[in-house]
Amino acid sequence: MKFQPDTLPGVNVLTRHEPGQVWVGATPYTHSVLVPHRGDVLHWDAARFEDLGPASFDALIALAPEVVLFGSGARLRFPQPAWLRGLIERRIGVETMDTAAACRTYNVLAAEGRAVAAALLLAPEPRA
């Protein structure tokens, strides 16, 4: 039984995720991305969690989402509250999860017609 259609006309759908890669539709990306529910996928300047700051999340404001899903990489890492201030002041919700979970959750919300945006860190975790 299918739970959602293979395609959602006019909506960006995350079709595949692997460490360091994500596909939006048929297009692969190997760098961190901002994925709005509609419109162009954008390069996100934050290659690693350590690169993040307020400007990283302020870039999402122009996408006008009602909720942002932050995929923090291979493991769950929470952004500092100060980094999210611009989104919070505009009453844009932010949910943090690992990148794989953010991809799955994004598709559910996009299929429901929600104005969702995903901010996905794609850098593989360094080996210990």
The predicted model scores a pTM of 0.91
The domain spans of the chain are 22-120
Burial of residue 54, with CB atoms counted within 10 A of its CB: 0-12 exposed, 13-18 middle, 19 or more buried: middle
Query: How much is the pLDDT for 110?
Result: 96
Question: What average pLDDT score do residues 111-126 get?
Answer: 89
Enclosing H/E stretch for 14: strand 14-18
Q: pLDDT tier at 2 (50, 70, 90 boundaries)?
A: very low
Question: What average pLDDT score do residues 1-6 get?
Answer: 43
Asked whether residue 1 carries a pLDDT value surpassing 70, the answer given is no
The per-residue pLDDT of the chain, averaged, comes to: 92
Q: How many CA atoms lie within 13 A of 109 on its CB side?
A: 21
Output the six-digit token pair for 38.
């509609």
Q: How many CA atoms lie within 13 A of 125 on its CB side?
A: 11
Query: How much is the pLDDT for 123?
Result: 78
Query: How much is the pLDDT for 6?
Result: 59
State the fold for domain 22-120: Hypothetical Protein Mth938; Chain: A, (3.40.1230)
Which tens digits make up the pLDDT trace of 56-107?
999 999 999 999 999 999 999 999 999 999 999 999 999 999 999 999 999 9
